[in-house]
Structure 1
Amino acid sequence: MDHQGRDIIQGADVVELAYRPTRRDIRTGIGVRERVRRLVVLRWAFALMFLALTVRHVVTADAVTSASAAISLALAVMLPVLIWSLPHLQAHHVLKLVSWQGEYRTTVTDSGIAAETEHTTLVQRWSLFRGYRETRDHMVLLSRDPNILVLEVLPKRGLRSPEDAERLRALLDRHLSRV
């Protein structure tokens, strides 16, 4: 079977990408989702709360004398690190899920997006997405669901030419809003 997603190709506007997903691609998508959902603010709030707890333990005398205070101090230091590392851990796990599939060949048309690997073919209509955000090296499409569980990350390095980036941007602008 050639490209099963090609049945969505109708017009002359076709942009094709070929790439292998990287941790950076996935991390970029997760970062865009977090900024749109404003999770970065929540992350800062938790990190500052644990930082304040750490300062409190260092300043008070009971931090040195009590074993439970030592455990609290260790948690107060480790939890902000864990909070800030979650997107990297998520990207690592997602990469493990998708990297074995090899190269992705993605076709973007007026009807939607078709992504094919050696093992899968996925066709997504424009109605799945609420909008997109462009970064320096990626186009990140965000799903309509409230938690933005579905992301489509299109790395610009997968395009054949710089003109394809302009065509892809025009195609996305025609069907989605920038968020």
Structure 2
Amino acid sequence: MRMLMADQCVDWKEDVVTFDNWLKDLKKDAQVFGQLPGFKDGDFKMYQSNAILRHLARNHGLYGKTPVEAAQIDMVNDGVEDLRLKYVRLIYQNYENGKEDYIKALSTELGYFEHILCKNNEGKGFLVGDQISFADYNLVDLLLNHQVLAPDCLSGFPLLSAYVTRITSRPKLEAFLSSDAHKNRPINGNGKQ
């Protein structure tokens, strides 16, 4: 969400809630599923990361040019979320015992995205169509996390590697990613990376 908003020049104010404060927060009942992040635009409030991403995408022209592109973007983003779920399980449930096996299996997972890129303009653009989508921001965010977990994870994937460089080199996004606000934020809540 932050990458999308930074790249699209959307101003936002962030209210960072620590885990302890979240547990103590009496307003927790107001959170639809008892989870963060939340998003507020005027009186409109919503929760769930992917719902927020889709909302932002619709409002900023980042959901494809046709219904077919929108469906493809949804499909790819669901694949990103499948990988994110595996990553989250590793980080929060099995880091010490599972990291090595996870990294070994990562090449299969990354191969899917390499193939998707190859099928769209030979990997020279975006995941779907000829413009950036919310799925691109979501995948790049996850790939940046994986490069911390396993720095060489993209070495066998030239299209993915070039894609991450291309997306993160977009001037507004590059400025955000190099900002202290981004660099000083922990990747995972438990400090594992």
Give the TM-score normalised by the residue count of structure 2: 0.28
Q: Which has the higher helix share?
A: 2
Higher Cα radius of gyration: 1
Give the TM-score normalised by the residue count of structure 1: 0.29
Q: Which has the higher strand share?
A: 1
Q: Which has the higher contact order (CA 8 A, sep 6+)?
A: 1
